[in-house]
A and B are shown apart, each in its own frame.
Chain A
Amino acid sequence: MKTWVAVVAVFLGAGAWAGHRSSIVVKAEQRERPVQIVPAGQKQVGSPGEKGATYYALEAQTTRLTTRFHDGHAAVTERGLVGNVRTTLRDSSGNERATMRLNRIDGGHDMVNYEPNDGAPFQAFSDPNLVKPTLDWATRQAYGLAKDGSDHLVWDAGTMRRRGAGRRDVESEIDSVETVWANGLVATLTRQTYSRRAVIPGRFVEGPALVSELTVHGAPAGTAVWFEKDQVFAYSLPVLMTGVVVIGPEHLKAKYGGWPFTPDTTWLNLQLIAAHHFKTLLAKQGTVARACEPPRPSRLAQFFLPTLNANEVGCDDFHWLDGSIVRACCDDHDRCYEKGGCDSSTWWQWWRSWTCDRCNIAVVGCFFARGSTDDRCLRRLGCAG
């Protein structure tokens, strides 16, 4: 017994001494990273032509995007529970032309799997500097590849296209777009032509327009129109507001010199959905932002109610599996947690919501059954295995 006590004491003493020295070295190395200081009061603004975090946060709640093209093709792009994206493209006769899948493989990269019916399939890394894996991007990419071919591909302005093929203006080929969002919101966009009329006194518009109609659980809820020639955006949500909101280039001139971007079909649907969403929040709770900072738990409370954001890339506390087949399970789980606002303290709280539990059921199933999560199994839509 005495021998054991002596061995353990030496063991722990050596570990504690070396641990102290190592932590000093690590801290010194961490200090060497330069910090970019921004002067107080200086506001950082992004490039006005690029879509910002709010757009992508809203877009992430789109579950299905159905796009019909002038040539009769139709693309249905769906987002799975864990953020994976799948596009199915059909021709005017309903025959499947191609499928494309986007799966996140690490913190920034996605794997694109493209399978045409009449050509060779391929998989490729997306370029995170160029591509945000939105449903709209997947739709346009799949359509472009089906129309132009998928051999000898190059990146061109965030889109893969065949070397030598000209840039395709997919936006102009779109006939209609249906955006299915969370909470039963569905926006359907069509192209129409308006005769001359005044949207508000003194503001006349006419010509080709993108018209988006919003429904909530099937009931009409609002309309948005983008007048292409006049560059005027107008929307109304009869239940949530009175009158019509009209934004023309003259309203944006002082700040941006006009429209900082050209509204497209997907943006218009999402803009109408966002207006409804935020106005609903305002009507219900008077604010769309969090009222106060969440309490900061003490170390003791942290022990019993630990919190951690789902932002550690790979398998948390299991990183020796990062290069294994279950890595995808961990990344899917992180995305699922991020989307559901979950953390380690909400691991199993079915009495509040099944959101986090679904993520956990999926990751456990993924760990023990397969190398990837198939959310169709959870949604009872039928899946193999």
Chain B
Amino acid sequence: MTRTVLERCVDFAIGMLTFAGAHAIEVAMWRPWFGGEHDPWFLNAGSAAGFTLGCVFVASGVASMRSGSARPGRGVTLALGAFAAMAVVLFLKEGGPGTIFPIVLAVGGVFLLISSTLGAWIGREVRGAVKGR
């Protein structure tokens, strides 16, 4: 397995685990932190959306900053992992997917992609700045 493939697998796993972890925290703290209205799901409350996307952003930034290549599409792999976790959670959560689930998947995916690529880009820039010092 080449280094790039391994790196992509790790990024994908980080994306999955980050989303799953963020969702687990949202389920746990849904009432005190996120208002408790509707089912626990990151797009059901603005604060939950911010929390999940923040987690993905930070995870992507840290992953990009810490190690590996400086390829521009790095955040995409992590976003794909987060998207996979999002899809699984959406279909398995209590009540099942709603009536507009394809739109939820598409919009959620775009948000995750933006958050992840932005995090990866900033992480890469920070890493470059630190190295160049």
Find out whether the CB atom of B44 lies under 8 angstroms from the CB atom of A317.
Answer: yes
With A and B bound together, what is the CA distance between A320 and B48 in angstroms?
9
- A308 & B99 in contact (Cβ 8 Å cutoff): yes
0/1 string, A305-321, CB within 8 A of B gives 1: 01110101011111110
Q: Is the CB of B103 within 8 A of A307?
A: no
Contact of B101 among A15, A20, A347 (CB under 8 A): A347
Given contacts A21-B28, A25-B31, A318-B44, contact A343 B37 (CB under 8 A): no
Question: Per a CB cutoff under 8 Å, which of B28, B63, B100 touches A317?
Answer: B100
Residue in A22, A303, A315, A363 whose beta carbon sits within 8 Å of that of B31 in the complex = A22
Q: Report how far A363 CA is from B104 CA in the complex, Å.
A: 12
| A334 on the B face (CB < 8 A) | yes
Q: Which of A8, A17, A319, A367 contacts B38 (CB 8 A)?
A: A319
Residue of A4, A12, A360 near B20 (CB, 8 A) is A12
Min Cβ gap B34→A in Å is: 10
Q: Does B95 reach chain A (CB closer than 8 Å)?
A: yes
Interface residues on A, range: 35 or more
CA distance A18 to B31 in the complex (A): 12
Chain B residue, CB-CB nearest to A315: B100
> Which residues of B1-40 have CB atoms within 8 Å of chain A's CB atoms?
10, 14, 17, 20-21, 23-25, 27-31, 37-39
A18, B29: Cβ atoms closer than 8 Å: yes
A303 touches B100 (CB 8 A): no
Interface flags for B51-93 (1: CB within 8 Å of A; 0: not) read 0000000000001000000000000000000000000001110
A102 within 8 A of B: no
Q: Does A239 contact B (CB under 8 A)?
A: no
Q: Quote the shortest CB–CB distance from B90 to chain A (angstroms).
A: 7
A contact residues around B104 at 8 Å (CB): 316-318
Q: Is the CB of B91 within 8 A of A316?
A: no
Say whether A347 contacts B102, CB under 8 Å. yes
B27 touches which one: A19, A310, A364 (CB < 8 A)?
Answer: A19
Q: Give chain A's interface secondary structure class.
A: helix
Asked whether B109 is an interface residue with its Cβ less than 8 Å from the other chain, the reply is no
Give residues of chain A (128-155) contacting chain B, Cβ–Cβ below 8 Å. Answer: none
Q: Is A44's beta carbon under 8 Å from chain B?
A: no
Q: Does B46 contact A (CB under 8 A)?
A: yes
Quick check: B96 and A319 within 8 Å, CB to CB? no
Report the bound CA distance from A21 to B27 in whole Å: 10
The 10 closest A-B pairs by CB, nearest first: A316-B98, A15-B24, A18-B28, A19-B28, A319-B44, A317-B98, A306-B96, A11-B21, A319-B38, A19-B27
Q: List 13 A-B contacts (CB under 8 A).
A: A16-B24, A22-B31, A23-B27, A316-B97, A316-B98, A316-B99, A316-B100, A318-B103, A319-B37, A319-B38, A320-B49, A333-B100, A344-B97
User: What is B's interface to A at a CB cutoff of 8 Å?
Assistant: 10, 14, 17, 20-21, 23-25, 27-31, 37-39, 41, 43-46, 48-49, 63, 90-92, 95-104, 107
